[in-house]
């Protein structure tokens, strides 16, 4: 489906544009004629986007000043943010028993609290303008949680719940909220998750073999041969969610995302647990 070029360009602010879906979405919306502000913690990673004519800004979703300054810049130029794409995030994959409090907090600071704060910062301008759209990049993982994925999937469950409440709260002000739920996508995301799993565990770690098996599984899952969606294809769905005149509340990306979420909705817990065990490694007692 081709997204028609809009008649009124939007002021677009996107987090997490250093790679993957954020980068591709920024370029796609720029080429549709929007005023795109692409952001990353290290703006030097966005030099090629700046060369394309996008405005690039430093933005760390764990830093209040950084977030406020980015929103203020867009509002200074355009009066309000017309479209916010909350894309910044990463995946912490570890057994619940193995993760440190610092690791868990970092996961939620980026994937949940940063998304919430960015939303809070843009909403006053959107309300004044009487319009706006917030696109939250969630995951099919916002609907289920496999072994090893408690914390990443927990953040995406939170994004789903926050978005549902927010959608009802801001609709009277002309602001729309849309959730995008990618399945496995060919980006740098898998590499970060695998690096965490492969960090050297203590010799007595009862989950050592499980972590190794899970890293191997994710290395295979995020490949085209296993049905992972290229970042460019995922971007088309994000752009449609961001620009279609009457957006749905949710857009799933990929056959795996749609089928897994349907199974979670229809199957009883015991049957879905069996499905998880058949498709994911689980720890084995020594």
Summarised one tens digit per residue, pLDDT across range 180-235 is 999 887 766 655 666 667 665 556 788 988 988 888 888 776 655 456 778 888 89
For the question of residue 251 being annotated catalytic, the response is: no
Nearest Cα neighbor of 135 from 21, 265, 280, 250 is: 250
Contact 208, 285 (CB under 8 A): no
**3-state percent breakdown (helix, strand, coil) of the chain, nearest 5:** 55, 15, 30
- The reported pLDDT for the residue numbered 203 is 60
**Which of the following is catalytic: 37, 93, 98, 138?**
138
**Rounded Cα gap, residues 171 and 131, in angstroms:** 9
Phi and psi at residue 129, to the nearest 5°: -75, -20
The model's pLDDT over 69-123, given as tens digits with 9 standing for 90+, comes to: 999 999 999 999 999 999 999 999 999 999 999 999 999 999 999 999 999 999 9
Mean pLDDT across the chain: 90
**Which of the following is catalytic: 37, 93, 98, 156?**
156
Nearest Cα neighbor of 135 from 87, 85, 89 is: 85
- The reported pLDDT for the residue numbered 1 is 46
What ranges do the domains of the chain cover?
Answer: 11-279
The model's pLDDT over 243-261, given as tens digits with 9 standing for 90+, comes to: 999 999 999 998 889 999 9
What mean pLDDT do residues 50-61 have?
A: 97
Helix residue ranges, H only, the chain: 20-31, 47-51, 64-78, 101-108, 114-129, 150-170, 189-198, 208-221, 231-243, 255-266, 269-279
**Which of the following is catalytic: 37, 93, 152, 218?**
152
pLDDT > 70: percent of the chain: 89
For the question of residue 152 being annotated catalytic, the response is: yes
For the question of residue 163 being annotated catalytic, the response is: no
End-to-end CA distance of the chain: 52
For the question of residue 139 being annotated catalytic, the response is: no
Does CATH number 3.40.50.720 belong to domain 11-279?
yes
Those residues whose C-beta lies under 8 Å from the C-beta of residue 100, and which sit 6 or more positions away, are none
């Amino acid at each position: 489906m081709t997204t028609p070029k809009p008649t009124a360009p939007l002021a677009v602010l996107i987090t997490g544009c250093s790679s993957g879906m954020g980068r591709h979405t920024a370029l796609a919306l720029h080429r549709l004629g929007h005023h795109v502000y692409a952001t990353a913690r290290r703006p030097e990673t966005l030099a090629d986007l700046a060369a394309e004519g996008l405005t690039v800004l430093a933005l760390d979703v764990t830093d209040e000043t950084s977030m406020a300054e980015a929103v203020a810049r867009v509002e200074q130029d355009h009066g309000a943010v017309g479209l916010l794409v909350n894309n910044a995030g990463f995946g912490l994959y570890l057994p619940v028993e193995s993760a440190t409090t610092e690791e868990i907090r970092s996961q939620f600071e980026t994937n949940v609290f940063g998304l919430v704060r960015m939303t809070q910062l843009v909403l006053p301008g959107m309300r004044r303008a009487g319009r706006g759209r917030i696109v939250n990049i969630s995951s099919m993982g916002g609907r289920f949680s496999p072994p090893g994925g408690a914390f990443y999937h927990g953040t995406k469950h939170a994004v789903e719940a926050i978005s549902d409440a927010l959608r009802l709260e801001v609709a009277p002000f002309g602001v729309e909220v849309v959730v995008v739920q990618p399945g496995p996508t060919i980006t740098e995301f898998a590499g970060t998750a695998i690096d965490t799993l492969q960090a050297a565990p203590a010799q007595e770690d009862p989950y050592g073999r499980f972590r190794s098996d899970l890293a191997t599984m994710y290395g295979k899952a995020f490949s085209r041969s296993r049905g992972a969606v290229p970042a460019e294809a995922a971007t088309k769905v994000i752009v449609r969610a961001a620009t279609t005149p009457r957006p749905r509340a949710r857009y799933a990306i990929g056959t795996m995302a749609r089928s897994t979420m349907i199974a979670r909705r229809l199957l009883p817990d015991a049957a879905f647990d069996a499905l998880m065990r058949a498709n994911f490694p689980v720890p084995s007692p020594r």
